[in-house]
Amino acid sequence: MNTEINSGQASKQVRHAMDITIKVGVVLLLLAWCFWIISPFVSIMFWAIIIAVTLYPLYTRLAKKLKNRNKVAAAIVTMILLAILLVPGFIFTESMVAGVKKYSYQFNAENFTIPPPDEQIKNTPLVGDFIYDTWAGAYDDFEGSVKSYSSQLKSVGKWFLDALMGTGMGFLQFLISILISGVLLATSNSSSRFLKKLFIRLIGEKGEDFALTTENTIRNVSKGVIGVAFIQAFLAGLVFVLAGVPYAGLWAIICLILAIVQIGPGLVIIPVIIYLFSVSDTWVAILWTIALVMVMLSDNIIKPLLMGKGASVPTLVIFLGSIGGFITSGFMGLFLGAVILALGYKLILLWVGDNPTENLNAAG
């Protein structure tokens, strides 16, 4: 009798375990299916959330001035963002296209020549002699120099086209993200409540702390890293355009990338300064040099103002996040990687209990 009872209980336990396994399997299958469907838009959605969280304080102030007309405030913020992105993008793209047209026309002309190198280039540390000799060789025999470096030029050209296409796709993704962020701002109250409930459901008592840390970290890193990088790149590009530097838009984009990965735009600005001294009058070049040096050092002033006191994230975290994001997700990942890894770093500190109160203050 006892054997039959035990056998029946075991059978019920097996059926119960099978029921749980099937239910969990169906839920996991549904989640995997949902993720597969939405995977092309994951980067765009993440970036839209980052933009919305970063600009939420500005949106709330504007909504109050507009007598709580949330949709109007969200539309205004979205239009301002689009203008900030499109106007510099148009200027720099026009500069690049004009430069390409100019040099393509000269290259196709029968009497195409390049200017002779300036003797001052030899004084450039480390690479001065190499640049001068290469430039002089191209001046004496341009076609021969092109043939001798044909394989390297093909590789550089392919890399340049790939980078240009990636940048174009990233630019388009930014536009879509800005539009989605406007929708998120307009529905921010319900979205905020949902996220807090989700964190509490997943984590428990500390869920609200995690939600607050997430919000503050996204806002601070976006302003202090990505915001500063955009400001530096815009200012550098503006000086490049005013100084008549060829392909100013391209150099501005490279400055943006270098600023995000925490290397700084100096790797572009210093060669540009050398170029300006080789083609401009000394006093004119000195004035442009002063402007570019101010741009190069501006992050030391802007970053503390935008990030806020105690909101720093280790440079290594930002660097690894940017590089890793760029490798895995292209141009868009360059921005997302820095924010996501910084967020993970802050949340792990809070989770392991490394002075959670201090971490929350640091995040804010």
Give domain limits for the chain: 42-363
**Other beta carbons within 10 Å of 289:** 20
The predicted pLDDT at position 7 comes to 62
Sign of CA dihedral 238, 241, 245, 247: positive
Reported as half-sphere exposure (CB side, CA atoms, 13 A), residue 68 has a value of 1
Q: What is the residue-level pLDDT of the chain in tens, covering all 364 positions?
A: 555 556 666 677 777 778 788 888 888 888 888 888 887 787 788 888 888 888 888 888 888 888 878 888 888 888 888 887 787 777 667 766 676 676 666 666 655 666 677 666 666 666 677 777 777 777 666 667 767 777 777 777 777 777 677 767 777 888 888 888 888 888 877 777 777 777 777 666 677 777 777 777 777 777 777 788 888 888 888 888 888 887 777 788 888 888 877 788 888 888 888 888 877 788 888 888 899 989 888 877 777 666 654 456 677 877 788 788 877 776 677 777 777 888 788 778 777 765 444 444 444 4
The pLDDT of residue 18 is: 81
pLDDT of residue 103: 65
pLDDT reported for residue 358: 47
Instruction: Report pTM.
Output: 0.63
